[in-house]
């Protein structure tokens, strides 16, 4: 005698086998994705470790102090530090030529721009800046 439930049980067994095989294939695919992600993470970690250490706040403070000193020295050297006893017919820089003053101001502006770029680089490597 044959049971009418026999074919249903066979179909359920085949369905379960198919589902388990698909689950096994999916698990193997996820494992390879995990291995790829771990390898990429290790590569990124090595790149971060190899990067130059960012400037500290002390380095930035020291750089700003040096820039301030250089600007102050430039003002003293050109006579534009508030000395009002000079010849009024001369430009604010005293007896230096206008071209020298413009060149010096361009140099100072370039240094300020370089410092600004460096601050931007530092802020890029800091999560909260």
| Model pLDDT for residues 36-93, shown as the tens digit of each residue | 999 999 999 988 888 777 777 788 888 888 888 888 888 887 776 555 455 555 555 4
**Residue 127's pLDDT band (cuts 50, 70, 90):** low
Determine if the pTM surpasses 0.75.
no
Q: How far, in Å, CA of 59 to CA of 66, rounded? A: 11
In three-state form (DSSP H/G/I as H, E/B as E, the rest C), the secondary structure along the chain is CCCCCHHHHHHHHHHHHHHHHHHHHHHHHHHHHHHHHHHHHHHHHHHHHHCCCCCCHHHHHHHHHHHHHHHHHHHHHHCCCCCCCCCCCCCCCCCCCHHHHHHHHHHHHHHHHHHHHHHHHHHHHCCCC
pLDDT for residue 4: 84
Share the mean pLDDT of the chain: 81
Q: Is the pLDDT of residue 12 over 50?
A: yes
Predicted pLDDT of residue 90: 53
pLDDT recorded at residue 84: 47
Contacts of residue 87, Cβ cutoff 8 Å, sequence gap at least 6: 95
């Amino acid at each position: 005698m044959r049971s009418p439930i026999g074919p249903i049980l066979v179909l359920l067994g085949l369905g379960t086998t198919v589902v388990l095989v698909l689950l096994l294939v999916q698990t193997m695919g996820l494992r390879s994705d995990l291995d790829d992600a771990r390898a990429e993470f290790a590569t990124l970690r090595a790149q971060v470790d190899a990067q130059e250490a960012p400037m500290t706040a002390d380095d930035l403070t020291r750089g700003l102090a040096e820039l301030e000193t250089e600007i102050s020295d430039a003002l003293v050297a050109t006579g534009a530090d508030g000395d009002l006893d000079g010849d009024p017919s001369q430009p604010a820089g005293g007896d230096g030529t206008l071209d020298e003053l413009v060149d010096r101001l361009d140099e100072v502006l370039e240094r300020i721009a370089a410092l600004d770029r460096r601050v931007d680089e530092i802020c890029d490597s800091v999560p909260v800046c």
